[in-house]
Amino acid sequence: MSESEEYEYSDEDFDYGSDAEEAGSGAEDDLMIQIENNFYEAEDIKRDNPERSLELFEKVISTAKEQTPEQFQWIFKALEHMVILNFSLGHSEKVLENYTKLLSYTNKVTRNECNDAIGNIVDHIGHSSNKKLQTIGDQSNDVSIPQIYGITLNALKPGSNNERLRMSIYVKLGKFYQREKDYQNLEKTVKKLYQALKKDTGNDTVSIDQGIGEAFLLDIYALEISLCEALNRKTKLKEVYNKIIATSSNTAIQDPRIMGNIHETGGKICMEEGRWSDAYEEFFDAFRNYQEAGNSRARQCLKYVVLANMIALKDINPFDSREAKVYKDDVEINAMVELRQAFENSDVKRFENVLNDERYGVTKDEYIMRYVKRLLRNIRSEVLLKIVQPYRRVTLAYLTKQVNVEKVEEVESLLVELILDEKLEGQIDQISGVFSMSSGKNKGKNKGVSRAAKYVALNDWSSCLEKKTMADMFN
């Protein structure tokens, strides 16, 4: 081959398209760099300069012209930020516009990206104190928070392969109504949740879809419990609670955020029924779950633990537990600690002083106040038992002063209850105003007396008291 032939090349030997492709690839890379730079700059300034941040997020969307899968991810993330920013700034129209656009792109991103974005938006808006948005100068464009939930649920229609997310949004909507104490809409939402779990069985029996039902059934029960409590539906409340216990016992992993509320409800049910020891156990379980979940409700529930503990006359001090010791320095819990100490020392005056001290705010708790009379009766009974033991005879006036009550009749009532409960043996002389302890030789004789006979004695005491009252009226 000659030298000239050696350097002769045909057009086929050159790839004329390579430079164009490289140029195109470079342009695409430049475009992605521009999109990313705008996005991250917008993220950096969204707190200090939200309006400028919105402009940059808008630029991300307008720059992504080709809308490749990678670009869709940036558009989707930009829209997520824009919804939240516009919500914070009160731009109703923009919230709806951006959110509707974001929902239309849910099939162009991964399921995780979709779930995270929608969940983040709904949580942010649902927990906002701004219940209504207004477009400046145009109140006709108000947007309510439930409307945002409604738009979301309409976009996630049944059969869209987003059933889990759809159920999650319904639960969040229920919790929103729960926080707002909108029990009418909460009840409607609970019914829709149950309906979503039903299979077409042709009857009213709830047939749970195993994949979704197990994940959300406890959430639904918890919402229904709050509804029953608010509307004072005691029979239904107990029915739902029993279902929860049956369901949770078959669930390997229990969410402490849910179980805390459920056990607290169980404690209140037990308190209503006078099962004080069971109430103590339920409240303690609720306290542990709340604490594990980092829920501030733990502190309030610890008060109920102490309340049930004292009414049940348990020897166990709940503040000996590792979990409860964490709260000992808390101002509100200190009040309960002092109540407990006063109770253990049978110091009825100190007990009442702590109870009525406005700094502690114990009396502001409506639930605790429902059982205060029982608490005072217990501690006064304990004081009476300790006071009368060394005496053969003691005046009712003296006992009245020691237990810090105004009327002798209150002491007489406490003494009668102690006698009927076989914790004390003795006799009350209303005329003389004296309580006499049974002598050693007579002690134990009344152990075999029937309950009916004791109530006869109680009636005799009441009759005697009535005669004394009548005599005082005419003297």
- Residue 435 identity (one-letter amino acid): F
Beta bridge partners of 144: 132
pLDDT tens profile 355-401: 888 888 888 888 898 888 788 888 889 888 888 888 889 999 999 98
Residues 6+ apart with CB under 8 A from 143: 92, 95, 96, 132, 133
Which among 417, 420, 416, 427 is positioned nearest to 392, based on CA atoms?
427
Identify the band that residue 191 occupies on the pLDDT scale cut at 50, 70 and 90.
very high
Average pLDDT for 407-433: 89
Phi, psi of 134 (to 5 degrees): -130, 135
34-126+139-155 classified as CATH 1.10.287: no
* Upper half-sphere CA count for residue 97 (Cβ side, 13 Å): 10
Q: Are 190 and 224 in contact (CB under 8 A)?
A: yes
Provide the H-helix boundaries in 46-68: 50-63
Residues 6+ apart with CB under 8 A from 13: none
Position 460 scores a pLDDT of: 52
Domain boundaries, the chain: 34-126+139-155, 389-440+449-475
Which among 158, 256, 293 is positioned nearest to 212, based on CA atoms?
158
Position 210 scores a pLDDT of: 59
User: Would you say residue 248 has pLDDT above 80?
Assistant: no
Which among 402, 374, 370 is positioned nearest to 386, based on CA atoms?
402
Identify the band that residue 108 occupies on the pLDDT scale cut at 50, 70 and 90.
confident
The residue whose two tokens read 């991810």 is 73
Q: Which stretches does DSSP call E strand in 275-348?
A: none
Position 468 scores a pLDDT of: 53
Residues 6+ apart with CB under 8 A from 460: none
CA pair distance 143, 134, nearest whole angstrom:
7
CA angle 138, 141, 144 (to 5 degrees): 130
Position 313 scores a pLDDT of: 80
Does 12 or 404 have the greater pLDDT score?
404
Average pLDDT for 219-231: 93
Average pLDDT for 324-345: 84
| CATH code for the domain defined by 389-440+449-475 | 1.10.10.10
User: Would you say residue 284 has pLDDT above 50?
Assistant: yes
